[in-house]
Amino acid sequence: MTDVSGALKNPGSSFAFSEALEFEPCEIMGDVLRFEDAALSGLLFGAEETVSIDAELNVTVRAHCARCLEEVACPMRVQVKADFSRAPGEDEYPIAGHLIDAGKAAFDELLTQLPMRFLCREDCLGLCPVCGSNRNKSLCTCLEGAVRPNPFSALNVLLHDQNNKEV
C-alpha cells in the first residue's frame, strides 16, 4: 500500500514514488505464472479527493514455453496509469484512509499486457509428438522414421500439426 497523504494535502503537485511489489502466482491459459522482482516507480498526482499515478512496472514473469514446456523467464515493462478516489467510479480504484493499492492497479495492467503464449525462443522445436523428448536438446529420429510407409505415420504427422495449431 502507498501512503498518499502528501498528494491529497497538496492538490496540483506531483510526488515521485517507488515500491517493491509482491504478486501471487496465477493460473492463465493452463500455465501457472510466477512473478519476481516486481517494482513500481513513477509519479503521484494529487487533486481534491483523488490521486492519479503515472508509473512503470518492471517485473520478471516466469512461465513455461508453450511448445517445449521448459521454464521461461520473461522480463516485462508495463506503463501503469490509474486513478484513485475516495468515492471510486467505474474506472477508479479506492483510496482507503490515506492509502492506495498501487500494486493492484499495476497487476491489472500487467494482466492485459501478457503475451498470448510464452516461447523459450521463436524457433523452439517443441516436443517430439512420438517420444516426447525435447527436440531443442536432442533431435530424435522419430519423425524421420515416420516418413517410411507406415500406417501410423500419417496419423502422427496429423497429430503433430494439430498440436502446433493449438498452441
Contact residues for Zn ion (CB under 5 A)? 65, 67-68, 120, 124, 128, 130-131, 140, 142
What are residue 61's phi and psi, to 5 degrees?
Answer: -95, 125
Which cell is 111 given? 494482466
- When the beta carbons of 110 and 127 are compared against Zn ion, the nearer one is 127
- When the beta carbons of 65 and 100 are compared against Zn ion, the nearer one is 65
3-class DSSP state of 167: coil
- When the beta carbons of 39 and 140 are compared against Zn ion, the nearer one is 140
State the minimum distance, in angstroms, from the CB of residue 68 to Zn ion. 3
- Rounded Cα gap, residues 149 and 160, in angstroms: 17
State the minimum distance, in angstroms, from the CB of residue 23 to Zn ion. 24
State the minimum distance, in angstroms, from the CB of residue 110 to Zn ion. 22
Side-chain half-sphere exposure of 12, counting CA atoms within 13 A:
0
State the minimum distance, in angstroms, from the CB of residue 162 to Zn ion. 17
3-class DSSP state of 130: coil
Is residue 124 a contact partner of residue 136, using CB atoms and an 8 Å limit? yes
Is residue 105 a contact partner of residue 93, using CB atoms and an 8 Å limit? yes
Which is nearest to 109 in space by CA: 37, 56, 70, 156?
56
State the minimum distance, in angstroms, from the CB of residue 136 to Zn ion. 6
List residues bridging with 83 in a β-sheet. Answer: 52, 92
- When the beta carbons of 75 and 145 are compared against Zn ion, the nearer one is 145
- When the beta carbons of 114 and 140 are compared against Zn ion, the nearer one is 140
